[in-house]
Amino acid sequence: MQLRTAVYYWRQFRKDMYWPDYTPRKKKNTCWRGIGILLILLTSFLLAGEINGWWQIVDSANSLQKEPAAEVVEQDILAEEKGAATAVPIRPTKVSPSSLSAAAQAPDFTLPDLNDSTQMHTLSGYAGKPVILNFWASWCVPCREEMPALQRIYEQHSPDGLVVLGINQTFVDDLETARAFVADLGLTFPNARDDEDEVSSSLYGIMGLPTSVFVSANGEIAHVQVGQLTDEQIERYSARLVAGGKIVP
């Protein structure tokens, strides 16, 4: 439609310009008339393009409002967990965190050692001993900050039978970097690696790092901490776990 209108005005412009009985004065007027027509057409084309672009922006904004990003949803779930303010989100989980309720039996698993793939760590292999499962990654700052306290607790209570087992989230980490992380911090408690997310999300529903799962000597979950543990919490929870008492956050 716009092209047809433009052709019409162009033909009218030529007709006015080259009609046999025109005068110099008339030619001057028609020149300005033709320039005005061209300016009007150009403005119309530009205005139509601006309106079309504006509607595309509005449509895109509406689409974003209708489909929130997965990361935002995951953050909302994490916010419901105690201590989650210090947790670093990882990919969405495959099971609900409610499956890790207190007094539930901790899911058994077998994972290879972080440094020696021929050595395996099985939760049931620690039957009769209290266990702290600490899920971490080398890029997780809160993980690094709580590790020294976990190392101290391990050294203090390992004679009492306490087991501290770190589980590296290798499926979202780099293996060599994770090994260097353990070496740099001088960690002597065992660490396993979860290469394929076989345990972290599939069995334990880990949403953020660090997450610590306290397992009693009879294999029941005593407490789950999402986010960084303070030194005081680690000492108090570990003492209660070793004594066989109830952990009260």
Helices (H), 131-200: 141-157, 175-185
* pLDDT tens digits, 39-54: 666 665 555 554 454 4
pLDDT digits (tens, 9 = 90+) for 91-148: 655 544 445 677 789 999 999 999 999 999 999 999 999 999 999 999 999 999 999 9
- The C-alpha atoms of residue 107 and residue 184 are separated, in whole angstroms, by 31
Helix axes 141-157 and 175-185, enclosed angle (nearest 10): 50
Query: 221 with 102: CB under 8 angstroms?
Result: yes
Whose structure tokens read 């979202």?
Answer: 172
No. of helices (H) and no. of strands (E), the chain: 6, 9
Q: Say whether pLDDT at 33 is over 70.
A: no
Contact 103, 181 (CB under 8 A): no
Count, residues in the chain: 249
pLDDT digits (tens, 9 = 90+) for 171-219: 999 999 999 999 999 999 999 999 999 899 889 989 899 999 999 999 9
pLDDT attached to residue 246? 83
Where are the strands (E) in 63-155, listed by range? 88-89, 110-112, 120-122, 131-136
Residue carrying the six token digits 């419901």? 80
Neighbours of 63 (CB within 10 A): 9
**What pTM did the predictor assign?**
0.66
Least confident of 1-10, 105-114, 220-229: 1-10
Average pLDDT over residues 16-21: 51
pLDDT band at 64, cuts 50/70/90?
very low
